Homo-oligomer: A and B are copies of this chain.
Amino acid sequence: MTARILVADDDPKHAQLIRLYLEREGHQVLTVGDGRSALDVARSRKPDLLVLDVMMPLVDGLDVCRILRAESDVAILLVTARSSENDMLLGLDIGADDYMAKPVSPRELTARVRALLRRAGAGEGGLLQVGDLEIDAGRFEVRMRGEAVTLTAKEFAILELLAKEPGRVYTRGQIIDKAFGFEHDVSERTVDAHVVNLRRKVEQNPAEPEYVQTVYGRGYRMAEH
């Protein structure tokens, strides 16, 4: 399960370390250096999980946590240098989902992140089914009429996004944001190109798609079956 994670830490070296650990796990990571930016970015990019340092300039981690908890249910992992029992209880009280003391070990970090994402994404389930199309999100596997289909990463991401909510129309911009991940800035034609390839692999007759359909002037959607 790959996720979008925002890391907020005022020590750039520490932030880069955490980014490295998480990217090795296949996650998309964005870092900021103060609480104010953490709030802004969390609101605008809507990550799946926040790794928050407690001590930060402008707005501290506990406040960021408190504020965000009031507006969304994003998963939050607090990190602190002070390994006091007090801080921890305070953090969990405020609505953090988990808590770690510095120094951060890679094993512990990735284990806790995995656990949090599993909890948060419990509703996502592994297997998506639309008509004769099966998508196993955990295994990156797709089957059409029982037959395995090999997709590239982007193709899979687009298919998965659309299949999560059949009938819903996504603009090309939304597909770039949500399927390719933030920090991605590509032409909207690129989405078309991937869709062409996707249809070639998934549709019986790509000229009249039964699954990945175009909604003229708006974007694409998965047909309801």
A residues with a Cβ closer than 8 A to B are 24-26, 36, 43-46, 58, 85, 88, 98, 105-108, 110-112, 115, 139-141, 152-153, 167-169, 171-173, 176-177, 182-185, 188, 215-218
B24 touches A177 (CB 8 A): no
A177 touches B111 (CB 8 A): yes
B177 touches A107 (CB 8 A): yes
Q: Give which listed residue, B44, B112, B168, B216, contacts A115 with CB less than 8 A.
A: B44
A217 touches B153 (CB 8 A): yes
Query: Least Cβ distance of A40 to chain B in Å?
Result: 8
Cα A220 to Cα B26 in complex, Å, equals 13
- Give me 29 A-to-B residue pairs in the complex whose CB atoms sit less than 8 angstroms apart, sorted by A's number: A24-B171, A24-B172, A24-B188, A25-B171, A26-B217, A26-B218, A36-B85, A36-B88, A43-B98, A43-B112, A43-B115, A44-B115, A45-B111, A46-B111, A105-B185, A107-B177, A107-B183, A107-B184, A110-B173, A110-B177, A111-B177, A139-B169, A140-B169, A140-B218, A141-B167, A141-B169, A152-B216, A152-B217, A153-B218
Q: Which residue of chain B has its CB nearest to the CB of A44?
A: B111
Cα A111 to Cα B177 in complex, Å, equals 9
Which residues on B sit within 8 Å (CB–CB) of A177?
Answer: 107, 110-111
Which residues on B sit within 8 Å (CB–CB) of A88?
Answer: 36
Q: Which residue of chain B has its CB nearest to the CB of A165?
A: B139
A25 touches B173 (CB 8 A): yes
Which residues on B sit within 8 Å (CB–CB) of A46?
Answer: 111
